[in-house]
Chains A and B, each alone.
Chain A
């Protein structure tokens, strides 16, 4: 599904990622773990096109996508959520999800300004589908609230609904459990499983080991900008290098 081939990223003299290669298989839930500063978020920023790549290549279903801008990658089906919520705060919860349907609607400036018949129909479709996604994450009752008024946990759910509205092939989640209590985390695990069951490949960066070991089928361990190990949760738990890295980090 997604393949990284010797990807490197430099910031000035700092090497944030070095020769990282791995493969994410279709339909699986993959976890990327590693101590702070391991380059996990940088990796996400590269895959989603926020950062230019310094070296190496990225492939999506065998098509080279290196260097494509973020908006093109989103159209190709790579969508993400953020660790510190990047919601459209001044828009309502519903409008946030409707904005997520942008790529799956057509009408241009003229059709919108003139409110042509097909624009009205499309707008209705957008709205209905957005409502369905809100139901999917359980936020229907908050549809009319401003997104900035949502508590953190619900904001995270909204980000997921908004991302799902794009019908992604690959959903990247940056620390989805950060800031959630244990009950919310449990619900999140269920939600992520449901997302996977709908056929979407999920990749998550996460510090909550319990969650990672519970839902991930595949794990990539990063350390200091390099890939340290790769395998099933069990293999990773028994890998001496991984244990050393985590213990060494304190």
Chain B
């Protein structure tokens, strides 16, 4: 036993590794840093884009839509951690989003609680709820998991409708205050834009970090083969529950933001259809791609605005998108990115540089 420990602490190379290794290792270390830099560069470019976008969109209406793109991005990223990385579906995430919104709404509008504190309470409560319910629910797999999360979402939705004294029932809850920071009140679209996107950027950064860590690898391992993951010592069950709770917690924060931006919440925003919409966002963007989720959220939020004439029929388009994407582009739009890039590069260089890095 003790002997085994000692072996464990000694670096493996003094036992049987060739010495020629060091040079190639250094080379690879270089490429790793290159990879990290790329990741950072991507984030920096994206941040600048987000910061500058309001200059281009002077019209208040577009800004307003972009605020929702931000909120939906957080939700899609949250769901992607669960669906795209761990491979576990949830058709009830609108429920967690709604819980965040309602807890924030009720605490601030009815009880005069500080909105930031309320946001924390909501996130904590929803995270704990998801953690507790995660144990039995994530024991289920595939179709059964989908149905169970769907049921959970609907139960939450029914609660919003039926606890009229608390939530105002189907007609909704109004009078939710805006968030404030010192003397700054987030009461117009421009301020809300920066508020929401600050959260979105933080969510992106956290999610990207997580995805590129041992936890992210373990989640993807579970996705590919849960049996093999467990045999590699990965506690699949606990990890799935953890990521479920984290995902729900992020949704709750998005819900709180939504409540304070809208100053009004009603159950209709948190039903089954919205859960499906969230799944659609993740699928469009690409399972397991954080920026893809932002893209998916942007498309699904902008689409109905562009198709104003079809107002009610956007549901048909969602249906078609889900079917066609699953059949023809299961990797989502981001899976087109390498193809797109190599097309661009092909213009300048000879084809053949098809190294899809990162």
Classify A-B as touching or not with yes or no (CB < 8 A).
Answer: yes
User: Are B25 and A131 within 8 A (Cβ)?
Assistant: yes
Proximity bits, A84-116, B CB within 8 Å = 1, else 0: 001111110001001111111101110011110
Does A77 interact with chain B (Cβ within 8 Å)? Answer: yes
> Which residues from B are CB-within-8-Å of A74?
230-233
User: Are A102 and B234 within 8 A (Cβ)?
Assistant: yes
Given contacts A91-B221, A131-B28, A135-B18, contact A99 B210 (CB under 8 A): no
Output the least CB separation between B224 and chain A (Å). 4
User: Are A71 and B236 within 8 A (Cβ)?
Assistant: yes
Output the least CB separation between B16 and chain A (Å). 6
User: Are B213 and A135 within 8 A (Cβ)?
Assistant: no
> Which residues from A are CB-within-8-Å of B183?
none
Proximity bits, A39-72, B CB within 8 Å = 1, else 0: 0000000001010000000000100000001110
Given contacts A91-B220, A98-B214, A123-B214, contact A162 B232 (CB under 8 A): yes
> Which residues from A are CB-within-8-Å of B223?
90
> Which residues from B are CB-within-8-Å of A194?
16
Q: Size range of the interface on A?
A: 35 or more
Does B7 interact with chain A (Cβ within 8 Å)? Answer: yes
CA A69 – CA B226 in complex, angstroms? 13
User: Are B232 and A50 within 8 A (Cβ)?
Assistant: no
> Which residues from A are CB-within-8-Å of B29?
128
Q: How many residue pairs between the two chains, A and B, have CB atoms under 8 Å in the bound complex? A: 139
User: Are B206 and A135 within 8 A (Cβ)?
Assistant: no
Does A129 interact with chain B (Cβ within 8 Å)? Answer: yes
Output the least CB separation between B108 and chain A (Å). 27
User: Are B12 and A112 within 8 A (Cβ)?
Assistant: no
Does B32 interact with chain A (Cβ within 8 Å)? Answer: yes
In chain B, positions 18-54 with a C-beta closer than 8 Å to chain A are 18, 21, 24-25, 28-29, 32
Output the least CB separation between B136 and chain A (Å). 17
Proximity bits, A114-127, B CB within 8 Å = 1, else 0: 11000100110011
Q: Which residue of A lies closest to B1 (CB)?
A: A61
Output the least CB separation between B51 and chain A (Å). 22
Output the least CB separation between B233 and chain A (Å). 3
> Which residues from A are CB-within-8-Å of B18?
135
> Which residues from A are CB-within-8-Å of B214?
98-99, 101-102, 105, 107, 112, 122-123, 126
CA A175 – CA B232 in complex, angstroms? 18
CA A65 – CA B342 in complex, angstroms? 53
Q: Size range of the interface on B?
A: 35 or more
Name A's interface SS: helix
CA A105 – CA B28 in complex, angstroms? 21
Q: Which residue of A lies closest to B3 (CB)?
A: A199
Does A22 interact with chain B (Cβ within 8 Å)? Answer: no
Interface centre among B18, B206, B213, B231 (most CB of A within 10 A): B231
Proximity bits, A159-191, B CB within 8 Å = 1, else 0: 000100011010000000000000000000000
User: Are B233 and A166 within 8 A (Cβ)?
Assistant: yes
Given contacts A71-B235, A102-B232, contact A199 B16 (CB under 8 A): no
Does A143 interact with chain B (Cβ within 8 Å)? Answer: yes
Q: Which residue of A lies closest to B245 (CB)?
A: A109
CA A177 – CA B132 in complex, angstroms? 45
User: Are B209 and A88 within 8 A (Cβ)?
Assistant: no
> Which residues from A are CB-within-8-Å of B288?
90
Name B's interface SS: helix
User: Are B228 and A87 within 8 A (Cβ)?
Assistant: yes
Output the least CB separation between A100 and chain B (Å). 5
Q: Say which residue of B3, B16, B209 sits within 8 Å of A114 (CB atoms).
A: B209
CA A80 – CA B210 in complex, angstroms? 28
Output the least CB separation between B135 and chain A (Å). 14
Q: Say which residue of B11, B16, B206, B217 sits within 8 Å of A113 (CB atoms).
A: B206
User: Are B7 and A127 within 8 A (Cβ)?
Assistant: no
Given contacts A91-B221, A128-B25, A167-B7, contact A82 B228 (CB under 8 A): yes
Given contacts A102-B232, A126-B214, contact A140 B24 (CB under 8 A): yes
User: Are A119 and B217 within 8 A (Cβ)?
Assistant: no
Proximity bits, B170-192, A CB within 8 Å = 1, else 0: 00000000000000000000000
Q: Say which residue of B12, B217, B224, B246 sits within 8 Å of A98 (CB atoms).
A: B217
Q: Say which residue of B4, B25, B227, B234 sits within 8 Å of A50 (CB atoms).
A: B227
Does A245 interact with chain B (Cβ within 8 Å)? Answer: no
User: Are A80 and B24 within 8 A (Cβ)?
Assistant: no
Q: Which residue of A lies closest to B231 (CB)?
A: A70
> Which residues from A are CB-within-8-Å of B16?
136, 194, 197-198
> Which residues from A are CB-within-8-Å of B227?
50, 70, 86
User: Are B220 and A114 within 8 A (Cβ)?
Assistant: no
List 3 A-B pairs, minimum CB-CB distance, nearest first.
A74-B233, A103-B233, A112-B213
Q: Identify 19 residue pairs between A and B in the complex whose beta-carbon atoms are under 8 Å apart, listed by A's number.
A: A71-B231, A71-B234, A74-B232, A80-B231, A88-B220, A90-B288, A95-B217, A98-B214, A99-B217, A99-B218, A99-B234, A112-B216, A113-B207, A113-B209, A123-B214, A129-B12, A140-B24, A194-B16, A198-B7
A88-B229, A91-B220 known, 18 other contacts, Cβ within 8 Å: A71-B231, A74-B230, A79-B233, A87-B228, A89-B224, A90-B224, A102-B234, A109-B210, A112-B209, A112-B213, A128-B25, A129-B11, A132-B13, A132-B21, A133-B12, A135-B21, A167-B8, A169-B4
